[in-house]
């Protein structure tokens, strides 16, 4: 029987399945989910995890790639479970996680890996992760902290859009006729962001209006980072839409590099120079 905590996402397209099974959504889930029981198991909570998750504003080409990968993942798992009734999704993914970690497999797990096509699943998930990064317009080399920072900033941008009446519908054909009346404009993507999204944005500092204080604010962001950051990532580290700040942040970084307060690491990434 289905547990009362089972979450069902009724989507008509497999591109959403691909995104929801990607590393991007997994990281978001682990930061926003609840925890339950002796084993402190994660619990997917719709209003905390799914509702505020900012889906990418993907192009049709990116959607097509994600759709094909999502369909292939779904078909592969269904075929494995139909051919081997003793196998389960949980068992397959337990072995997959051990493979990712480099841990040794037992004989039983080797059997699951072989019959369950786990190496194929691993490759499919790798392709889905890369396609999801492409849909967001992000490089494939982002670290986990950078992914989460970008999601939080994008989430804040979507919240501000909704406050102005711009909604990115996830299921436009279903949602727009029911919930779109009276909106200033409508954008075809999707997301019903609530107060919890704004609350996430509250943890970010405000970018100073004073131009003399702005370099100090940028330097504080870099000093608190444990990895090189791009101008875009720095701009997203402050509350509100980042696009208007990127050019100013780029100008500030040039000055900070010139004075030796910041070091350019290559590929448009920067780190604060620590005092000796």
Token output for 184 = 């200033």
Specify the higher pLDDT residue, 62 or 38: 62
Domain boundary among 113, 136, 159: 136
93 and 157 share one domain: no
Listed residues 103, 136, 169: the one ending a domain: 136
- Whether residue 1 lies inside any domain: the answer is no
Beta bridge partners of 271: 263
Q: What is the pTM of this model?
A: 0.61
Q: Please report the pLDDT score of residue 180 as a whole number.
A: 54
For 187-228, how does the pLDDT look when each residue is reduced to its tens digit (9 = 90+)? Answer: 433 334 333 344 444 567 889 988 889 999 999 888 887 678
| Residue where a domain stops, chosen among 136, 153, 169 | 136
Domain count of the chain? 3
Segment 25-40 shows an average pLDDT of: 79
> 103-155: per-residue pLDDT in tens?
999 999 999 999 999 999 999 999 999 999 999 999 999 999 999 999 988 88
| Cβ neighbours of 275 (radius 10 Å) | 4
Residue 3 has pLDDT above 70, yes or no: no
> Which domain range does residue 165 map to?
144-201
Q: Tell me, yes or no, whether 66 lies in a domain.
A: yes
> Which residues are CB-contacts of 161 (< 8 A; sequence separation ≥ 6)?
167, 168, 187
């Amino acid at each position: 029987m289905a547990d009362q905590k089972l979450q069902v996402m009724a989507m008509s397209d497999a591109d959403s399945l691909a995104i929801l099974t990607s590393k991007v959504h997994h990281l978001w889930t682990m930061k926003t989910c609840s925890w339950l029981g002796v084993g402190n198991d994660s619990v997917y909570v719709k209003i905390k995890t799914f509702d505020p998750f900012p889906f990418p504003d993907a192009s049709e080409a990116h959607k097509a790639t994600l759709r094909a990968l999502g369909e292939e993942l779904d078909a592969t798992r269904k075929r494995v479970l139909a051919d081997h009734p003793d196998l389960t999704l949980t068992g397959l993914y337990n072995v997959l996680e051990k493979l990712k970690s480099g841990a040794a497999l037992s004989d039983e797990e080797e059997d699951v890996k072989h019959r369950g096509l786990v190496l194929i699943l691993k490759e499919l998930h790798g392709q889905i992760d890369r396609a999801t990064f492409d849909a967001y317009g992000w490089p494939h080399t982002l670290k986990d902290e950078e992914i989460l920072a970008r999601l939080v900033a994008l989430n804040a941008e979507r919240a501000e859009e909704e406050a102005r009446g711009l909604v990115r519908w996830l299921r436009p054909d279903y949602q727009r006729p029911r919930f779109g009346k009276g909106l200033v404009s409508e954008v075809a993507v999707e997301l019903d962001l609530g107060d919890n999204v704004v609350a996430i944005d509250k943890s970010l500092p405000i970018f100073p209006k004073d131009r003399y204080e702005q370099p100090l604010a940028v330097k504080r962001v870099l000093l608190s980072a444990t990895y090189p950051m791009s101008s875009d990532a720095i701009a997203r580290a402050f509350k509100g839409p980042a696009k208007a700040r990127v050019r100013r942040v780029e100008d500030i970084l040039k000055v900070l590099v010139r004075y030796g307060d910041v070091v350019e690491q290559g590929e448009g990434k920067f780190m604060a120079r620590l005092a000796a």
